Structure 1
């Protein structure tokens, strides 16, 4: 695949890595433009996944992940003192725990901020979770999804979603979110290749849904049914 192929398919890191390898004088100018664009969005500073034995959990029927169970537990605490103590423990884990513990703490804090509608703080915590454990797809994916939903630039979101798909290529949610960002780019930039690749990503996402993932499947199908209206509205 060419740099353009990767770019229009939302595979920014692959485009970036290919651009760095360009030696042809004819392609150097284009490669430099791609590298400058991606470095603007810090792709060159992304944590490097190693993926040694990391379990990538499937999304459950209620659209949750095991990594979110802790935030459900904390939000169920009604007594103020007990809640404050649990938050203190969470913050302490982010400082003194193992890398896995720190990552989970930051992810949980990010979800708590998300429920409280503090989106900047939420994304910051999710990014910290990625830094502590770059091998868990859900950390990358939820970061990208949150960025897309709450006003970050499309290339910010795509970079994280690409890594989520790379780590967990059978997860339909990350493919769906990638398609949503590509649709946004097709609308904003009026570039048809983004739309064509969004359609392919949606088909792949739908095919990847498990039997129990009916809610997610319905959401993906709805996007497929209405995607033209996103662009031409």
Structure 2
């Protein structure tokens, strides 16, 4: 894939690697400068490929079962005890245990609309276990609620897609960010790649994922105003 195509498709890590081999190119120099400006090298890279959890029809993952169970607790004392256990696991557990604890805490903060704390915990989950696509993906989704730049968000989505290229949601999220870049920068290439990402999302969407498929199709419908 050409350097320009990687960039407009939001594959910034792959684009940066290729740009380093073409540093005599002005476009490559711009890519390197952007990558360094937004400190995208700080985004953890996965260390191994493992089987990824499949998004269920209700739009949840097995990694979210713990937070769903905690939210069903009605007694305050029991709820406080469970959250303290999470905090203790985040301090003293194995890296995988710490990652899952931060991931669960991130969602508790998210449900409470504490977005900054939520993003912080999602990024800690990625740090301690950089091999789960859902950690990267939900981190990116939450970053969209705050003042993170599209390039930072794309950096996390790229990792999620690299780890789980059959996940329709991550392709859809990438398309949304590319549309945002198109609207702000008015470069048609972003829109073209967003359409491709949406096609990939639909191709990956399973029959039972009716809600997600509807959201993707709605995004395609809304994009007609930019195409015609």
TM bucket (normalised to shorter chain) is: over 0.9
Specify the alignment match of 1:204 in structure 2.
200
Q: Which residue of 2 aligns with 1:10?
A: 10
Query: Hey, what does 1:34 align to over in structure 2?
Result: 31
After TM superposition, give the deviation of residue 51 of structure 1 in Å: 2.2
Which segments of 5 or more consecutive residues in structure 1 lack a partner in the other structure? none
CA shift digits 1:151-205 (9 cap, x unpaired): 4211111110011000000000000000000000000100100000100110110
1:51 — aligned with what?
Answer: 48
Given candidates 210, 217, 221, the residue that maps to 1:221 is 217
After superposition, the C-alpha distances for 1:39-78 in whole angstroms (9 at most, x for unaligned) are 22221122121224x2201110100111111111111111
Q: Deviations over 1:119-154 (max 9, x none)?
A: 111111101100101000000011111112444211
TM-score, length-normalised on structure 1? 0.93
The number of residue pairs the alignment matches comes to 227
Q: Deviations over 1:3-25 (max 9, x none)?
A: 211110110001111111225x3
Counterpart CA distance in 1 for 2:36 and 2:114 is 27
Mapped to 2, the partners of 1:146 and 1:110 lie a distance apart of 9
Question: Partner residue of 1:133?
Answer: 129
Among 121, 144, 147, the residue aligned to 1:148? 144
Scaled by the length of structure 2, the TM-score of the pair is: 0.95
* Partner residue, 2:66: 70
Equivalent position of 1:195 in the other structure: 191
Whole-angstrom CA distance in 2 between matches of 1:75 and 1:151? 28
CA–CA separation in structure 1 for the residues paired with 2:112 and 2:29: 41
Structure 1 residues 77-130: Cα deviation after superposition (integer angstroms, max 9, x where no partner): 111111111100000111111111001000001101111111111111101100
CA distance in 1, matches of 2:145, 2:179: 13
Q: 2:95 corresponds to which residue?
A: 99
